[in-house]
Structure 1
């Protein structure tokens, strides 16, 4: 079965098969072109009794791998070697090697965790770290541990993440390495000569595309062989293809995930003439583009980023990693010595990230978390995930799944959740399909959801218009993929006829609203292009839109690029208010709302759809508890300055702060954070307040005392007295401004006759005395009064008695009578 072809991985097969026979798991590290995707599965199939499943991260790679293995073995696809991707399968009872996408493998593991009839699983290109790849690895390892210890598992990688993979796969997992084809690849550094803006969001500077086209023309002139050019997306591929118009005796071929399978297959076959293949990252690994001797690399990649707070996803353009650049360059040396033209400098290359971030770091995790829940491990605990999902993103995903009924309040998957997972689409779209088909019929629901899930490229932001073009076969390539997905979706749900007579356009809008209820938007200003979505985010139509003048939109696709206040609407359907309320029923609210707005309490009776206020009128008798909550929000926003801080209130607070600092609990903290954390200390006064003015009438001093437990309330004035009687009989206020060092400012003569300073906190803290001259200027500071009389007093007496002769300055202050008055002068 193993074909006699000279590929580097052949030399590693004995070691690899021995490792799998021993531990049952292994990691194969082999560069592109080594044969790991083709020879290894065929060799495994000879050794095991059962089917070998090969999982690829992309559909195009799965079909290409199956086709190549069938070609090598002289069979047809679907016989010895077959494939299964979403909406397309070619296998038979004779199939020993089945190539699937990782998403298909995850779904199959849910249906049959034991993988009955399967002897070995090969997870290819694990280094790409797609979400489905991470799940497939974790689920297969869990199945091996608890159900199928005989199931062989091989993880392959073209880059050096082998140690992490082996550690995840368990003790005894051996790392086997295979050399690559050793054809040399010469590197040419070809940065633009003029200024080029860095990528921003989806925008790529047209000057960079000009430069890439120029480098391609140079490469064509420098030598022979086909050229493989890496660009971030389909739009850039189209832009460079346009710039290469007029090339003679050269075919310009495109290769990306949005093409139909026939065009993708054509790009993977040798051409009659010399070719320039313009491709996205799908050509980085797993695929061999024959005839390529030259690579032109724009140095960019497109990755998903999710704004979890706003529920918006976006593709953003970033600099490719050094690992990706190495992968891409290797394509030039698969069949013979080659050249790579990198459209950046060698200096910039050293500053690139070593590896791309795993998808789990920035993607929408709704489907990921649902898969975990269906497996029984909602939080992923106990599973061999290479990276744990970010906590905030996972929480947003759980909230979304709970809202659509896929998870219960405890986070467990529901029966409905399993139905949603079985659809094989994003949970939001699956929910729209299941619920929408009962209203608009299963045919229309399947067609709309297929358009949203099959990555169908449209040339308009008007979803109903794009759907009509698909139905009319106006774009044959896109139509084929759409029809295949629509048939698959329709085949997986119960058939339904339309429940009403809504127009096709409104039916499409309903489906979009069911999938994305927080993206239903109403125009802010009649005739404008800016909409407020129910989720609270603004979204803007493009200037050249065909949807202008629509009051309501159900927005299917929108992204918010960094730095933009509003999201950009890319695909939407007009919807009316009643259909909007039906689609976003969970967001509809009708009742009194009391909020802190504009610096005071605002009470209104409102009907709203999420953040969109439909109607409102003044609320004359608001709920006191809601008013109290609004006032509390005002205090938290604007601070305790909204209360009236009398000298008494400030004094009580400072005294409490001193006792908390000195004695700790149960003496309460009274800093701003502590007082705002729980406003219960304001008591009935807050509940009875109606507006900002009422806050200023609260007796804050009394409220603060309410913080004290009964025992401490009885001790408060003793432990932290507001005033202290000094030996002269004066009642002097203690200064607690600094809770670490309260003090008493008192004239020297008023302390005659006593050797001990007063104490605070039940005798624990000597009170610092600021001893004053008769003019109430500081003369000395001490907490040890006896030491002051013995050592410091003489100096003070010598300095001051000449200036204040009418005041007593006895030789022995400890025996003198204290007095706060001037001594009568003698005539």
Structure 2
């Protein structure tokens, strides 16, 4: 039975004529309308001529960013027409297709649309393509729209394009499409926003970790909302499936039915949530971002928002990609709140302080700016534009990410040396999986048999539940044995069937190959940079150079080699965390990561050589390696002397001149020269650490090792730097004497270390002196540290005459009582200097 009454109530109906006018005039339109207005359901039906309004019959493709949204939209449209999916309305997602000969509206995921465009750029049979939820900026959606614009400009000027968005970025899309903007009115009811900040002291999210205290607060807010708002369901937004499970546990016993809504939930449960609850029953729907805009959850009057979302991040230098938890953007937060006002006035609880609102990003990060671009680069290369320079994109791909993507594609054989797509690359693009997994599927089928290759790639394509463990071989076994009601096992089996059909002829595994070896081989083929060898203890070193560790209770610990399938690097952690891997042997690692294999000669300074208390030495060796992993090291016979010297210089620059031999006289000479350079400047040399190292190329002779460096006399180096040519070197002892003769006749060493040179001398040895001794042609007075007979400081002065006149009397009084056997004359300037006690019987 058709539901024309509900069709007529959808607000977008009044905008349909304007959309048709825009398409007739420009061939493209940007439809801006709030969620729930019918742009995803009524608009395609109207454009296809299925509303019995006399409109011509056309075929419409609707592209959704998620499988759940595609299935839901198709079922909703079919229900409005009184049909089941597969009639006038159908859908195609990876692993499931329901279309028929009468289908005029087909809902597909953006990934499926990309596959069709690559197979046939003219997109035969499609009159109109509606790209839904463009504001979410998924990479596949941006790519598909760029391809469609190219098709429309070059091959299909008759193809109509619609970009549907629920946010206010319509002007940018209109410029990109050269289209008119059609605004649709919404029927949203007022939503009261209540801020419910969590308690102080919670740690901010990092990586995939969310503070358990925040989840407890979110659960408490949901309970409070159920108590305060007597009607309607509660829709609670959380960043991921793991947080949904934990909050569901915390809501045990709540006065409502708790239901999860995320991409991994079983299709039956998704349909149940989206179909609405039974009369008299309240529901709490715990959802990821899938319910922000592309899905309608009926019955919702209350929204509780944890304020978090998940975005992809890629470390191109280490080859690590993962999701990370971020604060939700203001635009997304507004979308979430709007869910409470779809059917009636509602309430939205924001689990953060109102003062934090302005500090949140305005919009979510575009996928092209933060995601791994390897699949995008392959799509662009297959399209004939390897650098994506001609594609109509709102944001250009980052150059560094694209360069890393092309390197990966060359490694797996998808691009040639000129970055043109190969026949192998075209086949890989048609498999509908990441290029790394496509390589693992093709090469793995030949190496271990098609069945094991399909099973392992299906596992790697969608990370299994944590309950499956971190051993990939064990996870494959559990997926194979999963009961029919296991949602992951069901999806895994469907993906295995799809991959098996794409591979074609089946290949048998080699005789004697175990399942564990087969899985490890395929994982290694997918991520050759992540083959890792044990380094001692629990640490492994990946071929890409990143250290990693399995969990403390992992059965993988102890394996000599691992093929790491999934790893992430928590913020602040010294090494990556292995989330899934398979044990392999060295032969498998060599075969899978053959492109990283190399033999090189090294003559360098190795900081890990030498004694433990003084690490570092020159090494000359031949190194066989898989990337950063050393397989073997052999001494290099007859290394070039110049290379040895350069390596020693490298060590000298790293560790400093302490590697040289410093006698006491050499250290003193350096201090004297530093004083003269500081005081007089040129021609006296700069002997600071930085200057010596900068000039090391000139003064360092032929050395081959750390031992040779230790034999270099630093004093000779400094002597060679003296200004001999100008004759100034002959005045060194005159300008900065090593010792100064004092009135007692003693020659006292001068300390040139301080800014002002110091002469530490017994006070009595300076009797009879009228002026302070000076150095540097009389420019600098020595700082006198006048000592007691016991050698302890009694006074400090740079003006001896003033000290005799003013300071001596107090010092004399103190020292005379402490040292009565020493002379303490009333007039020291006229007294005889001495270092001895006074003669017996002589008056004091």
TM-score tier after normalising by the smaller chain length? 0.7 to 0.9
SS of equivalent to 1:412 = coil
Which of 591, 604, 618 matches 2:635?
Answer: 618
1:27 and 1:579, CA in 2 relative to 1: closer, same or farther beyond 3 A? same
1:570 to 567, 574, 579: 579
In the superposition, the TM-score normalised over structure 2's length comes to 0.75
Query: What's the counterpart of residue 396 of structure 2?
Result: 388
**Aligned twin of 1:258:** 264
1:119-268 superposed matches below 5 A: 119-170=127-178, 173-222=179-228, 223-248=230-255, 250-268=256-274
Moved more, 68-77 or 179-188: 179-188
Which of residues 328, 333, 347 is equivalent to 1:320?
328
Aligned to 1:13, which of 3, 12, 16? 16
Return the alpha-carbon distance in structure 2 between the equivalents of residues 632 and 408 of structure 1: 41
Is the 2:318–2:544 Cα contact (8 Å) retained in structure 1?
yes
Question: Aligned match of 2:500 in 490, 502, 507?
Answer: 490
With over 3 angstroms needed to count, the CA separation of the structure-2 counterparts of 1:624 and 1:167, relative to structure 1, is: farther
User: Which sections of structure 2, spanning at least 5 residues, go unmatched?
Assistant: 50-54, 608-615, 662-669, 671-689, 713-723, 730-775, 780-844
Structure 1 residues 18 and 613: alpha-carbon distance in aligned structure 2, compared to 1, 3 A threshold: same
Deviation at residue 392 of structure 1 after TM alignment = 1.2
Q: Cα offset for 1:597?
A: 1.7
- Bigger mean CA deviation after superposition, 493-502 or 65-74: 493-502
The CA RMSD over aligned residues, in Å, is 3.6
Matched residue, 2:540: 531
Change (3 A) 1:257 1:521: same
How big is each residue's C-alpha offset from its partner over 1:421-464, in whole Å with a ceiling of 9 and x where there is no partner? 11110100110000010011111100000011034323211211
- For 2:643 and 2:419, the matched residues in 1 are separated by 30
Q: Any residues of structure 2 matched to 1:303-702 within 5 Å, and which?
A: 303-459=311-467, 460-474=469-483, 476-494=486-504, 495-525=506-536, 528-590=537-599, 592-598=601-607, 600-622=617-639
The residue aligned with 1:822 is none
Aligned mates of 2:167, 2:311 — CA distance in 1: 19
Contact 2:110/2:141 (8 A) holds in 1: yes
Which of 570-579 and 616-625 deviates more?
A: 616-625
Distance 1:619 1:434 in 2: 40
Q: TM-score scaled to structure 1, two decimals?
A: 0.77
For the Cα contact (< 8 Å) 1:438–1:499, is it kept in 2? no
CA shift for structure 1 position 626: 6.6
Distance 1:262 1:443 in 2: 28
Give the unaligned 5+ runs of structure 1. Answer: 648-671, 699-721, 725-730, 734-774, 779-827
Number of positions where the alignment pairs a residue of Structure 1 with one of Structure 2: 687
Task: Give the 3 Å change call, closer, same or farther, for CA 588–94 of structure 1 in structure 2.
Answer: same
How far apart, CA to CA, are the structure 2 residues paired with 1:627 and 1:156? 66
Residue 284 (structure 1) aligned with residue 292 (structure 2): yes
SS in 2 for 1:5: helix
Distance in structure 1 (CA, Å) of the matches to 2:494 and 2:445? 18
Shift of 1:134: 1.0
- The change in CA–CA distance for 1:576 and 1:6 in structure 2 (over 3 A counts) is same
Mean Cα deviation higher: 469-478 or 511-520: 469-478
Q: Relative to structure 1, is the Cα distance of residues 624 and 507 closer, same or farther in structure 2, using a 3 angstrom cutoff?
A: farther
Q: Aligned pair 1:269/2:275, yes or no?
A: yes
Deviations 1:702-758 (A, max 9, x none): xxxxxxxxxxxxxxxxxxxx989xxxxxx999xxxxxxxxxxxxxxxxxxxxxxxxx
1:92: which partner in 2? 100
CA gap of 1:597–1:229, structure 2 versus 1, over 3 A, is same
- Report if the CA contact (8 A) 1:454-1:485 is conserved: no
Equivalent-residue separation in structure 1 for 2:711 and 2:416 (angstroms): 46
Per-residue deviation, 1:623 = 6.0
Name the CA shift for 1:76/1:308 in 2 (closer, same or farther; >3 Å): same
SS at match of 1:606: strand
Distance 1:314 1:389, change over 3 A: same
Distance (Å, rounded) in 2 between the aligned partners of 1:612 and 1:626: 24
Cα gap change, 1:499 to 1:48, in 2 (>3 Å):
farther
- The DSSP-based 3-state class of the residue aligned with 1:524 is strand
Tell me if structure 1 keeps the 8 A contact 2:378–2:409: yes
Q: Work out whether residues 603 and 620 of structure 2, in 8 Å CA contact, stay in contact via their aligned partners in 1.
A: yes
1:116 corresponding residue in structure 2 = 124
Instruction: Write out per-residue CA displacement over residues 292-323 of structure 1, whole angstroms, 9 at most, x where no aligned residue.
Output: 11111111111111111111012111111111
Kept after mapping to 1: 8 A contact 2:47/2:58: no
Aligned to 1:763: none
1:118 match: secondary structure: coil
SS in 1 for 2:48: helix
Secondary structure (helix, strand or coil) at the match of 1:340 reads strand
C-alpha change, 1:693 and 1:530, in structure 2 (3 Å) is: closer
**Partners in 1 of 2:618 and 2:557 — Cα distance?**
37
| Shift, 1:500, TM fit | 3.8
Q: Secondary structure at the match of 2:324?
A: strand
Of the candidates 301, 304, 311, which is equivalent to residue 296 of structure 1? 304
Say whether the 8 Å CA contact 2:564–2:582 is kept in structure 1.
yes
Q: 1:454 to 1:692 in 2, by over 3 A?
A: same
**What residue is the counterpart of 2:681 in the other structure?**
none
**In structure 2, which of residues 21, 28, 36 is the aligned counterpart of residue 25 of structure 1?**
28
Contact 1:2 1:39 in 2 (8 A): no
State the secondary structure of the residue aligned to 1:277.
Answer: strand
Q: Distance in 2 between matches of 1:640 and 1:169?
A: 65
1:608 aligns to what SS in structure 2? strand
Report the Cα distance in structure 2 between the residues aligned to 1:151 and 1:81, rounded to whole angstroms. 20
* Corresponding residue of 2:788: none
CA distance in 1, matches of 2:353, 2:272: 33
- Residues 163/550 of structure 1: CA separation in 2 closer, same or farther (3 Å cut): same
Which residues of 2 match residues 724-763 of structure 1 at below 5 A? none
